[in-house]
């Protein structure tokens, strides 16, 4: 099966099992950062820092998190001191993760520096000749943003409408089960395959990335995948092996 068929069957499965899929997909088909302000970028950056915590919890607490971080006014957040950190750690309405709170304050300071140097965050993004250079620079261990690592940097890129695939565990699992990659595939390989899939189906990578993630978390689950409801079941090597084991 080629990548185009795999994509079409994943979409068919999602449509059969989850309502509103096309509406959600449309968001990524039309996502544009044309009129974003630097504050919008800082909010999205902060979301990426907090990713890894259950999506439902983040959604529910986001208004309180926004409030705690001064509506993502990074000039104000950059001034937060130790006393403020303690106040946030004790705030039960937000996610009281000391590392993520401190990373957000650090990132606010970086934003102030970047805006001072480039005039806007958009100018900063546009200053990179290649996406690889940008990826490297955004990650915390290359003196970029704290709380941004080798996987959630792709989450950030997707949300700021930079067209790439996020090689997270859901995408990796789906590719592995469908035999598109081996156990030891690198993150670069996963991105490459996802990008090739986007090209073959003529869709924006951020929309394909979202579809893969949704499929991996709702259908091709880590435990008890919904193989009986999956249109890929006949050609799925993982499913075939499972069936052989249980026979």
Residue 205 Cβ, how far from ligand SF4 at the closest point, in Å?
20
DSSP secondary structure letter of residue 167: -
Specify the DSSP class assigned to residue 180. S
Exposure string for 148-160, b = 16+ CB within 10 A, e = fewer: bbebbbbbbbbbb
Instruction: Please give the angle made by the CA atoms of 138, 142 and 146, to the nearest 5 degrees.
Output: 60
Q: Are 58 and 47 in contact (CB under 8 A)?
A: yes
Question: Of residues 227, 244, 245, 247, which one binds ligand SF4 by CB under 6 A?
Answer: 227
Residue 219 found at the interface with ligand SF4 (CB under 6 A): yes
Looking at 110, 158, 177, 214, which residue binds ligand SF4 (CB under 6 A)?
177
Tell me which H or E stretch contains 217: helix 205-218
Binding of ligand SF4 by 201 (CB under 6 A): no
The minimum distance between CB 111 and ligand SF4, in angstroms, equals 40
The stretch near ligand SF4 (CB under 6 A) out of 25-33, 153-161, 193-201, 218-226 is 218-226
Which listed residue (151, 230, 241, 243) binds ligand SF4 by CB under 6 A?
A: 230
Footprint on residues 151-170 left by ligand SF4 (CB under 6 A): none
In this chain, which of 52, 112, 226, 246 binds ligand SF4, going by CB under 6 A? 226
Q: How many residues bind ligand SF4 (CB under 6 A)?
A: 13
Q: Could you tell me the CA-to-CA distances from 219 to 25, 101, 144, 207 in Å, in that order? A: 16, 33, 35, 17
Q: Is 176 in the site for ligand SF4 (CB under 6 A)?
A: no
Residue 190, interface with ligand SF4 (CB under 6 A)? no
146: tokens are: 């704290």
C-alpha triplet 163, 166, 172: angle, nearest 5°: 140
- The reply on whether position 232 binds ligand SF4 by CB under 6 A is yes
Residues of this chain that bind ligand SF4 (CB under 6 A): 177-178, 219-220, 225-227, 230, 232-233, 236, 238-239
């Amino acid at each position: 099966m080629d990548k185009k068929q795999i994509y079409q069957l994943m979409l068919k499965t999602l449509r059969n099992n989850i309502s509103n899929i096309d509406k959600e997909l449309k968001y990524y088909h039309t996502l544009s950062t044309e009129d974003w302000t630097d504050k919008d970028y800082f909010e999205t950056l902060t979301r990426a820092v907090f990713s890894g915590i259950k999506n439902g919890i983040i959604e529910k607490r986001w208004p309180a998190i926004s409030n705690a971080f001064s509506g993502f006014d990074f000039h104000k957040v950059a001034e937060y001191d130790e006393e403020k950190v303690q106040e946030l750690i004790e705030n039960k309405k937000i996610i009281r993760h000391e590392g993520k709170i401190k990373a957000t304050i650090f990132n606010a300071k970086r934003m102030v520096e970047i805006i001072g140097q480039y005039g806007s965050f958009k100018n900063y993004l546009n200053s990179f000749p290649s996406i690889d250079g940008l990826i490297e620079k955004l990650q915390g261990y290359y003196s970029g943003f704290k709380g941004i690592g080798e996987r959630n940097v792709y989450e950030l890129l997707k949300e700021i409408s930079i067209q790439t695939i996020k090689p997270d565990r859901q995408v990796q699992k789906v590719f592995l089960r469908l035999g598109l990659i081996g156990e030891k595939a690198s993150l670069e390989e996963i991105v490459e395959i996802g990008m090739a899939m986007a090209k073959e189906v003529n869709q924006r990578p951020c929309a394909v990335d979202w579809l893969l993630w949704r499929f991996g978390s709702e259908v091709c689950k880590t435990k008890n995948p919904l193989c009986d409801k999956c249109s890929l079941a006949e050609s799925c090597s993982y499913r075939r092996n499972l069936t052989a084991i249980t026979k």
